[in-house]
Amino acid sequence: MADSWNDQYVTANGIQIHYVRHGAGFPLILIHGWPGFWYEWHKNIMPLAEHFDVIAPDQRGYGDTEKPDVPAVEGYNRHVRAEDLRCLADTLGLGQLAIVAHDTGSWVAQTFVIKHPERVPRLFLFNPPYPGVGDRWVRPDFLKNSWYMWFHQQPWAARLVGSSREAARIYFGHFLSFLSHDSHLFDEELDIWVDNFLKPGNLQGGFNWYIAMDGERRALAAGTQPKQPAINVPTRILWGENDPMAKTEWADRLGEFFSNYTLKWVPDTGHFVQYERPDLFNTEVIQYFASCGRKPGKGGR
């Protein structure tokens, strides 16, 4: 890990939030998923910082952000996390902001944009969960992939995974390998993930997302969840074609939930597009947000 990533802390929405910040210009927020923390963007932060004010926070429960001891359903749901994002932006004096989000972070981004569309001129998601997935996570032929969503809700799951360093290495090694097109992609950096998740509270902090989202996930599967309003903010979606947790056929309902989106498939790529294809990803993000912050007739930065 780099000697200095410009780690910063701020109190927002009642918790201390850790973030890494580089660059100048229009604010660009990077929202990680699971199994992740800010470092999943380390191949992207500096190239993007040549064009934007890049801010990569740890979500509540992850990394070096605070992990409040509150019931997960009330304290770790996507609405609370979206409020974390709003309070972080307000505390940092940001008005409009561009958002790039991955995996579970995409739920947070969607929630934020629905509540505050005037603050987000453009949205960028990749391999995103979204309501159109419906019951496909719980279908019998997919349970061999999605089992961990229920394992993480067991009251002893964090103690089991954290019972030894080797147990944590096996667990996170499995997911980083399984989710990537190249199963050895994370071999040299696995211990960075293990070190992070073995910090006090980080295993349970990450697992709390799955506890908090269980009711919504069940309602989506049963078809009883109120329909999420369509997102009208222009949205760019990259989708790794070999992601075992976000199948390509699951993009079939995007038009119901995003009224103005473009979709690009990324071949030979799994769940971590930003990590597996960083040059492509960085170029896509830079081009997509190039017009943000420009005043008409002024020519931009």
pLDDT in tens, 4-18: 899 999 999 999 999
The average pLDDT across 214-233 equals 94
Q: How many residues does the chain have?
A: 301
Average pLDDT of the chain is: 95
List 130, 271, 275, 288, catalytic entry: 271
**Cα dist from 113 to 7, 68, 182, 230, whole Å:** 26, 25, 33, 10
CA distances from 43 to 46, 49, 274 (A): 7, 11, 8
The pLDDT tens digits for 174-207 are: 999 999 999 999 999 999 999 999 999 999 999 9
pLDDT at 213: 97
Catalytic residue of the set 58, 84, 103, 243:
103
Single pTM value for the model: 0.95
The pLDDT of residue 3 = 55
Mutual orientation of helices 190-197 and 202-222 as an angle, nearest 10°?
Answer: 90
For 119, the token pair is 């603050």
103 noted as active-site residue: yes
Task: Give the model's confidence band at 298: pLDDT under 50 very low, under 70 low, under 90 confident, else very high.
Answer: very low
Domain ranges, ordered by start, for the chain: 7-288
CB burial of residue 222 (10 Å; 0-12, 13-18, 19+): exposed
**Catalytic position from the list 210, 261, 275, 288:** 210
Instruction: Using DSSP, state whether 191 is helix, strand or coil.
Output: helix
Output the pLDDT for position 4.
Answer: 81
What superfamily does domain 7-288 belong to in CATH? Alpha/Beta hydrolase fold, catalytic domain (3.40.50.1820)
